Amino acid sequence: MSIRLSPVFSDGMVLQRDDDITVRGISAPGETVKINFGGADFLAKAGEDGGWACFMGKFPASGERREMRITSETDEIVIRDILTGDVWLCSGQSNMELALDRARHNYPDEMAASDAMLRQLRVPQVYNFNAPTSGLELPECAWEAFSPETAPNFTAVGYFFAKKLRERFKIPVGLLACAVGGTPVAAWMSRPTLEKLNLRDEVAEADDLAKNPGRIGRTLRDYELYESDYHKRLDEADEGVKCGWHAENRDDGDWETVPLCESVGGAGAYWYRRTFDVPPELSGAQAVIFLGTALDMDEVYLNGEKIGTAYYRYPPREYKFTLPEGKMTLAARLLCFNAPGGFTAGKNHFIATENGCVDLSGLWKRRLGTAFEEKKPQTFFAYKPTGLFNGMISPLLEYAVKGVIWYQGESDAHAPERYGEKMRALISDWREGWRDENMPFLLTQLAYYGGEGDNGWEALRAQQKQCLRLKNTGLAAAYDLGEYNDLHPQNKRDVGERLARLAARLAYGETAPPNMFEMY
């Protein structure tokens, strides 16, 4: 029988230094398993179900690339390129998940850098409502060392956090990137923790999904059919699609003239056009058009040919193309699913080349293709209580870590009243799961966003401070790093470095006093 391990135990992994390392796996029932690592042999005996656990003790930090040879009576596997250093779990929602690629224009030097001692494993996004799962149930995933090829996939906050630790402490750092955009805190909590807090609605919802697993598949299939039909009907109703408003020579003389970012008032399809002369020095140049973000979906055409599309509100609209000679016509079809919508004000709108730029921030022609019904909201099961704890956190509990950095809360701002209580319970639960009551847990304050008003964000920030009642917790300030028109502010360097300064005090014993950006 083949030896099976959690995919976290794989080539390129970083093992947590100075912590008890345990490797668990499955092989043939009753057989002896031997692990050779660091010049020593360790033995384990498989039980009747084939499961075994090999306790290997502690190892100091080392940048030496070593092998782990695991041998049974029927099989042998070798894990290569292993480092020993500090492993940090990077969890939360989209601002932790956000990859360095989304901030690449801010950090061109980082995109070209390499560091073989800084590694990441992206944990597959899996939810489960039946029970906590083991590492053996985790889908395939792989460790990657930081390089120009892998940099785009690294969590941006995690990368800058790890880079600062690498500079300061000169040891390998591994990141477990374990974040899912849009998730409320309850998705990351275990069922017993929800019960302790008497969160009856959340417990009932998790139990209902566990008892009716077929509902998930049916809901997903039904929405896929609904969405396909919605877009089909929207396309059929859109005069712009019928009449080819994307075409290069379309007459738009009777269209209204508006600023690109003037808000649209209702759901439907809106068409934008702009014709201008290409400067001779830019003719034939490779170019990128930047149109910021938009609500909700867009298709962009150059002289009648589609050059790009984005399907939802958050991704920056950046589309590559070749500038023609002479005149050129840009056309954009904006689909607004829930009013109000439009292109986001305050973003930069231009065409960039190596030899110059073309400003697109002026007036555009606009015409309504069709008004339409608002789109029904989609059910995201990853947001449901216990699902991500069972599917993503539980499989990692057998893998030793140094601590946790956390960026989450936006999705709980609509009901912030018990957020601090929930987070303290989550922290205590995760510490129990990793068998470390002092495990550092470092949170990120919600950044400023969008005028806020009475949307619960400031109340949630106050709740975040309540987590500091627990020992070995810290809160990195980020309010000043926000952008009024973007839920995902681009300055991830300062976030990561502020978390690293907290880690230096709470996890590494430095005694310098905190500054204005740190609370613990």
Q: What is the pLDDT of residues 67-122, one digit of tens each?
A: 999 999 999 999 999 999 999 999 999 999 999 999 999 999 999 999 999 999 99
Q: Considering all CA atoms of the chain, what is the largest pairwise distance in Å, rounded to the nearest integer?
A: 82
Q: Yes or no: say if 191 and 102 are a contact pair by the CB < 8 Å rule.
A: no
Which residue intervals of the chain bear CATH 3.40.50.1110?
Answer: 83-199+390-519
Q: Which residues contact 436 (CB under 8 A, 6 or more apart)?
A: none
The model's pTM is 0.96
Within 8 A by CB and 6+ apart from 478, the residues are 444, 445, 446, 447, 494, 495, 498
Q: Letter for the amino acid at 328?
A: M
Q: For the domain bounded by 83-199+390-519, which CATH number is listed?
A: 3.40.50.1110
Every domain range in the chain assigned CATH 2.60.120.260? 236-371
165-205 per-position pLDDT tens digit: 999 999 999 999 999 999 999 999 999 999 999 999 999 99
Give residue 139's identity as a one-letter amino acid code: P
Question: Among 160-169, 293-302, 389-398, 505-514, which is the least confidently predicted range?
Answer: 505-514
Q: Give SS3 for 112.
A: coil
| DSSP designation for 101 | G
CA distance 37 to 134: 23
Instruction: With a cut of 90, say whether residue 519 has pLDDT above it.
Output: no
In DSSP terms, which residues pair with 99 in a beta bridge? 155
Comparing 69-78, 183-192, 411-420, 511-520, the range with the smallest average pLDDT is 511-520
Instruction: For residue range 279-317, list pLDDT tens digits in order.
Output: 999 999 999 999 999 999 999 999 999 999 999 999 999
517, pLDDT greater than 70: no
Phi-psi region of 356 (alpha: psi -120 to 50; beta: other; left: phi over 0): left
Count how many residues are written for the chain.
520
Tell me the HSE value of 482 on the side-chain side, using a 13 A CA sphere: 18
> 339 pLDDT band (50/70/90 cuts)?
confident
Q: What mean pLDDT do residues 350-364 have?
A: 93
Alpha-carbon separation of residue 394 from 49, 116, 128, 129 (angstroms): 20, 28, 10, 12
In angstroms, rounded to a whole number, what is the distance separating the alpha carbons of residues 148 and 219? 40
Q: Which homologous superfamily is 236-371 in?
A: Galactose-binding domain-like (2.60.120.260)
Q: At what angle do helices 419-433 and 457-465 cross, to 10 degrees?
A: 40
CA nearest to 313, candidates 97, 94, 514: 94
Report the pLDDT averaged over residues 44-57. 95
